[in-house]
A and B are shown apart, each in its own frame.
Chain A
């Protein structure tokens, strides 16, 4: 009867920001990003991509509760960068990686099809 709607898992409620950002008041270049309606899929790939960036001193994410459909992503960087810059760079790199993956998969499909045609 009082069950929440199933779509609450993936639809951002009206008036809520998808990504909000809060700076750490005690540590330089540290911040927490709250990403609404996302889970390990996004959290883990962004975290691992941030780890590739030598300017990132810390990057971690957590899913605070399985029934709260949001993740917290915490980033600390050196003074050469900023959490926001590192976050944007990680997303850009992941986006490019997926473009590359898509292209190489499509090329592979074409290669496989032409191979099959020769085989016949």
Chain B
């Protein structure tokens, strides 16, 4: 394979994944055998480049509420909408069916809101009052409406409050939701949080540790702000209870030095093993967010491939260079 030397070689990595916990809006997993650059690229893409659908254009017909029109438009934009379809939708800026601002089902979803307060009690206008005009099988609806489909328990089916109305006040509007990415505006980000940490590799110097008295051991363990170490009740040995609780604060290392025992413990961050925690706004499932991020990253790599013209230009350039050097090959 490698005999030809050129394109036959590969320096590919083979990452592995282990899911620790998976819920609709939360996921924790281990990513191993890869590089911090890949972990960070995935994090960045999930936050800023995985598309979702959010309200982007609001036409207000009547607003006698206490909030002004732009305030309401902003609040509407921040409501997470179920965005399972977003990957297949078009951005309205490159939708050729409509001129970008009209509504066609390839790039937009229309919502209507029509509420008037007639009673004496203040009336909450919530995301549940938004009515989608989308009638297809996988409709784009405000996230909390999906709660009816037993995602959360009944006590939480209250919707997201948009504004409160007093007797006689009314709100009538039409809103157009579009596909977008978090880089454009944070309302399109499907991520509530995406973080990763390096897995710590903790080694206790057992010989040095045994030179400590029980009280000294306790004192040393107490110096750690998080519960990483403990004393075994029978053997009275110090052991690691939860390596991942360690927050790279160096407190135990400083404490060991202060106690005159440098090198009591060595802690290193493994740079090929990561623990990811991702939380979604509800627009996408956490697992779908990761899958979409991988696809988006692949698409991005595809767009940065060299075009044939660029490669050709260079080939001609090499010919020219060789020609100038006095012809012939190398």
A complexed with B = yes
A residues contacting B by CB (< 8 A) are 6-7, 9-11, 17-21, 23, 35, 38, 40-42, 44-49, 52-53, 80-81, 84-85, 87-89, 91-102, 104-106, 108-109, 112
Identify which of B40, B287, B295, B303 gathers the most chain A CB atoms within 10 Å of its CB: B303
* Complex interface: stretch among B9-17, B162-170, B192-200: B9-17
- Residues in B with CB closer than 8 Å to A80 are 5
**Can you report 26 residue pairs joining A to B where beta carbons are below 8 Å apart?**
A9-B184, A17-B310, A18-B307, A19-B307, A38-B300, A41-B40, A41-B44, A42-B304, A44-B37, A44-B40, A48-B36, A49-B35, A52-B11, A80-B5, A85-B6, A89-B11, A92-B10, A95-B298, A97-B12, A100-B15, A101-B15, A101-B17, A101-B38, A101-B294, A102-B291, A102-B294
Chain B residue contacts of A100, Cβ below 8 A: 12-15
- Residues in chain B within 8 A of chain A (CB atoms): 5-7, 9-19, 22, 29, 31, 34-38, 40-41, 44-45, 49, 93, 181, 183-185, 287, 290-291, 294-295, 297-298, 300-307, 310-311, 313-314, 317
Interface SS of chain A: helix
Q: Is the CB of B17 within 8 A of A20?
A: no
User: Residue B306 contacts which of A53, A84, A99 (CB distance < 8 angstroms)?
Assistant: A84
Of the residues B14, B35, B306, contact of A19 by C-beta under 8 Å = B306
Given pairs A89-B11, A97-B38, 4 additional interface contacts (CB within 8 A): A42-B301, A93-B13, A98-B297, A109-B22
- A42 to B298 CA separation, bound complex (whole angstroms): 10
With a cutoff of 8 Å between Cβ atoms, the chain A residues found around residue B287 in the complex are 109
Query: What residues of B have a CB within 8 angstroms of the CB of A41 in the complex?
Result: 40-41, 44-45, 49, 297, 300
For the complex of A and B, 4 pairs with smallest distance between CB atoms: A52-B11, A48-B37, A93-B12, A44-B37
8 Å CB contact of A45 from B15, B16, B38, B185: B38
Asked whether, in the complex, the Cβ of A7 is within 8 Å of the Cβ of B184, the reply is yes
Work out how many contacts link A and B, with CB atoms closer than 8 A: 132
Residues of A within 8 A of B290 (CB): 105
Q: Are B37 and A45 in contact (CB under 8 A)?
A: yes
- Taking the closest CB of chain B, its distance from the CB of A49, in whole angstroms, is 7
| Contacting pair A108 B11 (CB below 8 A) | no
B19 to A42, Cβ gap below 8 A?
Answer: no
- In the complex formed, the residue of A with least CB distance to B290 is A105
Q: Which residue of B lies closest to A18 (CB)?
A: B303
Counting chain B CB atoms within 10 Å of each CB, the highest count among A10, A53, A80 belongs to A10
Are B11's CB and A93's CB within 8 A?
Answer: yes
In the bound assembly, the distance between CA atoms of A41 and B41 in angstroms comes to: 5
Chain A residue at minimal CB-CB distance from B298: A98
Contact assessment for A91 and B305 in the assembled complex, using a CB-CB cutoff below 8 Å: yes
Residue in contact with A84 in the complex, picked from B14, B93, B311, CB distance below 8 Å: B311
With contacts A91-B301, A91-B304, A104-B17 taken as known, whether A21 is within 8 angstroms of B184 at the C-beta atoms is no
Which of chain B's residues have a CB closer than 8 A to the CB of A102?
291, 294-295
Which of A10, A42, A45, A95 is close to B183, meaning CB atoms less than 8 Å apart? A10
CB distance from B57 to the nearest CB of A (A): 14
Q: Which residue of B lies closest to A106 (CB)?
A: B291
With the chains together, A98 CA to B6 CA distance in Å?
A: 23
Pair A89/B15 contact, Cβ less than 8 Å: no
**Partner pick for A11 among B93, B185, B294, CB 8 A cutoff:** B93
Check A96 against B12 for contact (C-beta < 8 Å).
yes
Cβ-closest chain A residue relative to B16: A104
With known contacts A45-B37, A89-B7, A95-B301, A104–B306 Cβ distance under 8 A: no
Across the interface, A108 reaches (CB within 8 A) one of B13, B19, B34, B298, namely: B19
What are the residues of chain B within 8 A of A97 when measuring CB–CB? 12-15, 34, 38
